[in-house]
Structures are given as structure tokens and as C-alpha cells.
Structure 1
Amino acid sequence: MDKLDVLKGLSPEEKKELLKQLQNEEKEDKRSRRDAYEGLRAQFMLDVKNKLFPVVADVKAFRDWLEGESNAFCDTMRDYGQLRKSDQSSFTIVDGDMKLEVKSNKVKSFDERADLAAERLINYLKEYVGRTEKGVDDPMYQLAMTLLERNKQGDLDYKSISKLYELEPRFDAEYAEIMGLFRESNVVYKTAVNYYFHKRDENGVWRRIEPSFCRL
């Protein structure tokens, strides 16, 4: 007897019970697959975290070490007369097939008023999303909050804050007032130091070594 004949022999109540059983089995199967997926996701992200943070710590330790050592070597170069200016902080060192470039430049930054402006803007944005249908999913809110992110030194990024100015037409007078406070605070210049590494290849050409995840 095939399955169709079996179904024909069932009463309406039995068919209803069979349908309910099949639906429950389908729900249980979906639940099992969802649990398995979420378990794999959690384990994957745990593995990523456990491997990521030691790498981040090593890179930070290297940066701190390099900064201290390069400053000390710069003092040695200054004492030895190898710098053109007494206040020079950019230099290049070549030894064998390795080259290190230390480049120092002034960058625009903010004074303490920017912290007040950032706090006001965050409160303003919280009130703003409370008046919108999308809430925190509002793209304007997400964009503004992203532009308020700070770098590893805890400083606001000048270029990001400049992009906040472009959003003034989308908001009200209070937002414009906050942007005015940001502009007033943009009076400080800080020194940014970057390090560039090079290795000479078999053809004698300098190739930059990029200790960056995105460059590997």
C-alpha cells in the first residue's frame, strides 16, 4: 500500500493530527538548524576574538616600542649632527636591505570645546531618533554617530567632523549651533608621526612592507 492509499484511509481527524505532527517536525528541524547555526557563529566569533586581540596587543606594543626607540635614535642623530635642523623629527635610516622612514607632520585638531560639542551632539541625536520613525536605524543618525568616533589616542578626527558640517541643511538651528562650537574649537595643531618600512628586493628595488591586515 503506497502513501497515497494510506492518506485516503485516514479520517479527517487523523489527517488533521498527521498535518500537525508534520508541522511540528518541520518547526523542530528549523529550530535545530538555527541552533546549530548560532552555535557555529558564536564559536567562530570566539575564535576570531581570541586570535585578534593578541595580534592587536602585539601591534600596539611594537608601535610603542618603535616610538620610544625612534625618539631616542633621533636624539642620537641630533647629537651626532646628522639632522639639518635642531627641531627636526622626520628622518630616514638605511642599513643594508632595510629602510625606515619616520615622517612627522602637523595635523588639525580640536581644543576642549570639541568635547562639549560632541556631548551636546550625542544628546541631540538621541532626541532626534526619538522623533523619527526609523529610530537608531535612521541613516543620518548612524552616519553622525560614526563620524563622532575617536582614534586610538581618544581624539576626534578633523576630517570626520568636517563631514558633520555638510549635514547642517538636514537638521535644525540647534545642530548648526553645535557645529559652530566645533568650528570654534578647531584651533589646535598636533603632531602626527607615521612610520614606513621598506626592504630592497633581489633587483635592488625598494618595496614597502605594510604591517597592515588590509595590505597583506
Structure 2
Amino acid sequence: MEQKKMTPEERAAMIANLTPEEKQALLGDLKSDVTTERQKRKEAYESLRGEFMTQIKTRLENYLAHGRDFKKWLRAESAAYFEVLKEYGQLKRDDQLGFTIGDETFRFHVKGSKVKGFDERADIAEKRLVEFLREWVKNKEDGEKNPMYKLAMMMIQRNEAGDLDYKSVSRLYELEDDFADPEYSEVMQLFKESNVVEGTAIHFYFEERDDNGRWKRMEPSFNKI
């Protein structure tokens, strides 16, 4: 038989007739119910969070594995295709690093570039350049706020891997006439002599033609899909 719910007035009357001990016991039961309900919500949330995290990780690992497999396959197939292309076209130069193929709606580009860096001589050149700049800036009214000084120091800042950036250092060569100093010129020559080719970087690009007939880059990057 369904128990009849008490009205607020009936509940207030019942509580008013309780002894202090009974009221204390009732309060304890209510607090226990609140604590139990809060614990249930906490456990339910943590269970949901754990399940969600597991799903994300599993699907991400599958996504990355598929991407790595596609990239590995694409590198091998592109290299093989390029050899056929060179043979077919009787390409004489070995320094060409890429090609483009496509049709009316899709294009695929392979672009290669030499990865340039520096050997141990660049470390000496860097130290000499810093010494030169610190002496040079002493004769400037604006001191270390001098724009040429700030630019040169910025160009030899190393990246997170502790390496000098080839493009940044190359910009220092353009300042040789501005400094017009034999020491600066010698340091730049040492940087140039320390240049080494560390390898070849191969990049792949994909394009498709949109409804307006314009070519649009297809980005495999997750955040650009």
C-alpha cells in the first residue's frame, strides 16, 4: 500500500512533538542521507570521467597508428613513383627533391628541402659574436636598447633542443655592412664555414578543387580537419 506523503504542516507538527533526543537522531539521519547522496554523485562522476578518458585514449591511439601507417606507406610509394618518374623523364639532375601529380579535382605535392645546421665551429662563432656585441654596444648611447644589438642577440637564441636556427643566423650575414667591423666579418665567415647539411626533409601536401573551382589545401592536421 502506497504511503501517504505528509504535507509540510504535518511534517512540522511531527518534528515539534519529537523529544530532543529524537530530533538529534533525525538530524543525524538527514546528514547521513546527504553524505551518502554526495558520495554516490562523486562515484558516478568519477566512473563517467574514467570511461570518457579511456575512450579518448583508445580512439586517439588508433587515429595516430593509422596516420603513422599512412605516412610510412606514402613515403615509400612516393619514393618509388619518383624513381619511375625520373627514369621516364630521363631526369639528369639529382638535386630535385619533389614532384606534383593530380587531376581535375585533386592534387598531391611532394616537396623536399635540405635540413641545414651547424657543426662545432658555430659554438665558437657564437661566443665571439656575443663578446663583440657587448663591446660594440658600450659605445652606443642607447646601450642594450640599440635595435641592431637586440636583433643580433635575438638571432642567436637557441631553441628548446639547444640548437641555433639556420635561418636566424643567416639573417646576421645581412648586417655585416652595418657593423662594418673586421671582427664581425670574421665571425660571420666562421658561421658560414660551420654550415652543414644534416639531412633532407620531405613534406606532403594535398589539395582539392572546391565548388567555385579554387584549389583548397586539405590539412591532415587534427585541429584543422
Shorter-chain TM-score range: 0.5 to 0.7
- Structure 1 segments, 4+ long, off by >4 Å, are 108-111
Q: 1:12 to 1:106 in 2, by over 3 A?
A: farther
Paired amino acid for 1:47 = Q
Paired amino acid for 2:220 = P
1:58 corresponding residue in structure 2 = 66
User: Percent sequence identity over matched residues?
Assistant: 40
Write the mapping of 1:9-158 to structure 2, written as runs, cut at 5 A: 9-81=17-89, 85-107=93-115
Q: How many Å separate the matches in 2 of 1:19 and 1:206?
A: 72
Paired amino acid for 1:198 = E
Paired amino acid for 2:63 = V
**Deviation at residue 27 of structure 1 after TM alignment:** 0.7
Q: 1:78 to 1:24 in 2, by over 3 A?
A: same
SS of 2:161's equivalent in the other structure is helix
Q: How many Å separate the matches in 2 of 1:97 and 1:79?
A: 27
Q: Does 1:203 align with 2:203?
A: no
Paired amino acid for 1:15 = K
Q: 1:109 to 1:61 in 2, by over 3 A?
A: farther
**Deviation at residue 211 of structure 1 after TM alignment:** 1.8
- Note the alpha carbon deviations across 1:134-154, whole angstroms, 9 max, x for none: xxxxxxxxxxxxxxxxxxxxx
TM-score of the superposed pair, with normalisation by structure 2: 0.56
**Deviation at residue 35 of structure 1 after TM alignment:** 1.0
How many residue pairs were aligned? 148
1:214 corresponding residue in structure 2 = 223
Q: Which has the larger radius of gyration?
A: 2
Q: 1:9 to 1:99 in 2, by over 3 A?
A: same
**Deviation at residue 36 of structure 1 after TM alignment:** 0.9
Whether the 8 Å contact between 1:109 and 1:190 is mirrored in structure 2 is no
Whether the 8 Å contact between 1:78 and 1:86 is mirrored in structure 2 is no
**Deviation at residue 110 of structure 1 after TM alignment:** 9.2
Q: Does 1:193 align with 2:202?
A: yes
Paired amino acid for 1:190 = G
**Deviation at residue 207 of structure 1 after TM alignment:** 1.2
1:142 corresponding residue in structure 2 = none
Whether the 8 Å contact between 1:197 and 1:210 is mirrored in structure 2 is yes
Give the aligned CA root-mean-square deviation in angstroms. Answer: 2.9
Q: How many Å separate the matches in 1 of 2:203 and 2:102?
A: 17
**Deviation at residue 213 of structure 1 after TM alignment:** 1.9
Q: 1:3 aligns with which of 11, 17, 26?
A: 11
Q: How many Å separate the matches in 2 of 1:211 and 1:197?
A: 9
Paired amino acid for 1:19 = L
1:161 corresponding residue in structure 2 = 161
TM-score of the superposed pair, with normalisation by structure 1: 0.59
SS of 1:96's equivalent in the other structure is coil
Whether the 8 Å contact between 2:114 and 2:197 is mirrored in structure 1 is no
Identify which range, 193-202 or 26-35, moves more after superposition.
193-202
**Deviation at residue 98 of structure 1 after TM alignment:** 1.6
Q: 1:45 to 1:84 in 2, by over 3 A?
A: farther
Q: How many Å separate the matches in 2 of 1:82 and 1:9?
A: 105
